[in-house]
Amino acid sequence: MDKSIIIIGAGIAGLSAGCYGQMNGYKTRIFEMHTTPGGLCTAWKRRGYLIDGCIHWLTGSSPGNSFYRLWEEVGAVQGRTMVDPENFIRIEGKEGKVFIVYTDLHRLEQHMKELAPEDKDIIEEFINAALICTRLDMPIEKAPELYSPIDGLKMMFTMFPYLRLMRKWGKISLTDFAQRFKNPFLREVFPLVQDVPDFPIIGLLTTLAFLHNKAAGYPLGGSLEFARGIERRYLDLGGEVHYKSPIAKILVGNDRAVGVQLADGSEHHSDIVISAADGRSTIFDMLEGKYVSEEIQGYYDKLPIFSPLIYISLGVAHSFDESHTAAGINFPLDEPVTIARQELKRLPVHIYNFDPTLAPEGKTLLTVMIDSDYEYWKKLSEDSERYRAEKEQIADQVVALLDRRFPGLAKQVEMRDVATPLTFERYTGNWQGTYEGWLLSTKTLNVRMSKTLPGLNNFYMAGHWVMPGGGLPTGIMAGRYVTQIICKNDKKKFVTSTP
């Protein structure tokens, strides 16, 4: 008899675990609390626009690298047009100066040298490191937990140039690195290239390498369509998804996971349970904190997460001719403004003029992401009128700020939508509404988390709560890895197929 697996959550990790489980002869079922697949990888309709809520760049978007082969296995990329950005980000200064992080590394080098000829040496060192990354294909096929000593040696051999870079650039944050520039403008704007606290330079080098190789594009049609592709593959493989099915409890007997209990009280049994849902609620609510080590407790007490967001979307009756930037345009404000109690001196905006499926003809979707404090919104939500009013006020403020940068924009806005950290929490269950789980920082870069819990058998975790840094790649990798571990435990050879 085939063994059965229940998977909690139809995000990218849950759907991937489902696909690989089906490929390996397990009878899998996914229980998802929402009505659509994708989790954070989603989109929603508002007044003729489709608001994309996720993919800015998809690691492994083109053939020739190991990530693409994985995306092919789960049916995510076939028949999908990828658009490659010309720029990673455009950072504007106050006196008309602009730092454009071109995705072509040679063009970027030339541009940086024009901006800061006095920093020629450090610019060359940085670009050369990124070029080394362009020549590497990461061995991601196999779960690190299953590495034999020979696999380890092979990995060291293949990854030797990268491991050297990791040693050199893994411990330096963008902010610290920026201090090495003599040029004051580069010193000021470089940390904004990936505006995340303590973000390691190696993370940026890897992203730039994928972009240079045209392997970090955007799938036309957006994030929900992308997730639906994986859902289709899962259903074709014989999997079952149950939507509107929030799991309240993981059922345990003799320290073995034996099934799940839904919020409506119904029970469903299986040989194995995989949680691809929020880590904290899995461990501390669904399992009542009974299977926790000091180490795991420490993650949840101390590790930083990607900041929750206010996500402002605008439908604008105008077609913008700005070039496609993966991470948007970041521009300075004439004067600082306070939004949700935070002072902002700059504003980032994403202009989706490269995806006609998101807006009616001649019109454009714009999104603005602002880091925000979860507790502030939690408190505010006790008074629903004030919560709603705050969202309206933020939309007014953002429109006014964008109008200064794009004169006339305010009159062209015909759709406004504001999602808060509570929106992300409500729709995806992610702790504090974070958009990517554990922060990738110089301190978490080498943290390896277990995909099992101490003392609990037949139970696994997948997704961005077990792989710091998060993102879509960790979703598919974790889904694949837990299935490999399950196969190994069942003494089965792990197999895959590509449709």
Ligand X SMILES: Cc1cc2nc3c(=O)[nH]c(=O)nc-3n(C[C@H](O)[C@H](O)[C@H](O)COP(=O)(O)OP(=O)(O)OC[C@H]3O[C@@H](n4cnc5c(N)ncnc54)[C@H](O)[C@@H]3O)c2cc1C
- Contacting positions for ligand X (CB under 6 A): 8-14, 31-34, 39-41, 53-57, 59, 246-247, 276-278, 311, 428-430, 435-436, 463-464, 470-473, 475
CB closer to ligand X out of 54 and 456: 54
Minimum distance from CB of 118 to ligand X (Å)?
34
Q: Minimum distance between the CB of residue 225 and ligand X, rounded to whole angstroms?
A: 14
> From residue 381, how far is each of 24, 295, 374, 392, 423 by CA, in Å?
45, 33, 11, 14, 11
Instruction: Provide, rounded to whole angstroms, the least separation between the CB of residue 94 and ligand X.
Output: 27
- Give whichever of 217 and 315 is closer to ligand X, judged by the CB atom: 217
How far apart are CB 179 and ligand X at their closest, in Å?
28
Residue closer to ligand X, measured from CB, 119 or 278: 278
Q: Which helix (H) or strand (E) holds 261?
A: strand 256-262
Judged on CB neighbours under 10 Å (0-12, 13-18, 19+), 70 is: buried
Nearest distance in Å: CB 45, ligand X:
17
Closer CB to ligand X, 40 or 123, in the complex = 40
Rank residues 109 and 200 by Cβ distance to ligand X and give the closer one. 200
How far is C-alpha 377 from the chain's CA centre?
22
Nearest to 8 by CA among 262, 209, 181: 262
Q: Closest separation between CB of residue 426 and ligand X, Å?
A: 10
CB of 286 to ligand X, least distance (A): 7
SS3 197: coil
Q: Which is nearer to ligand X, 315 or 421 (CB)?
A: 421
DSSP 290: -
Give the tokens for residue 419.
Answer: 């999602």
Nearest Cα to Cα of residue 273 among 1, 31, 8: 8
Collapsing DSSP to helix, strand or coil, 275 comes out as: strand
- Of the pair 58, 174, the CB lying nearest ligand X is at 58
Please give the angle made by the CA atoms of 349, 352 and 357, to the nearest 5 degrees.
155
CA distances to 62, 64, 146 from 497, in Å: 18, 17, 20
CB of 28 to ligand X, least distance (A): 15
CB of 296 to ligand X, least distance (A): 17
SS3 302: helix
Closer by beta carbon to ligand X, 278 or else 390: 278
Closer CB to ligand X, residue 13 or residue 19? 13
Q: Which of 276, 278, 279, 283 is nearest to 250 (CA)?
A: 283
Contact 57, 85 (CB under 8 A): yes
Question: Residue 424 contacts by C-beta under 8 Å, 6 or more apart in sequence?
Answer: 40, 308, 309, 311, 430, 433, 434, 435
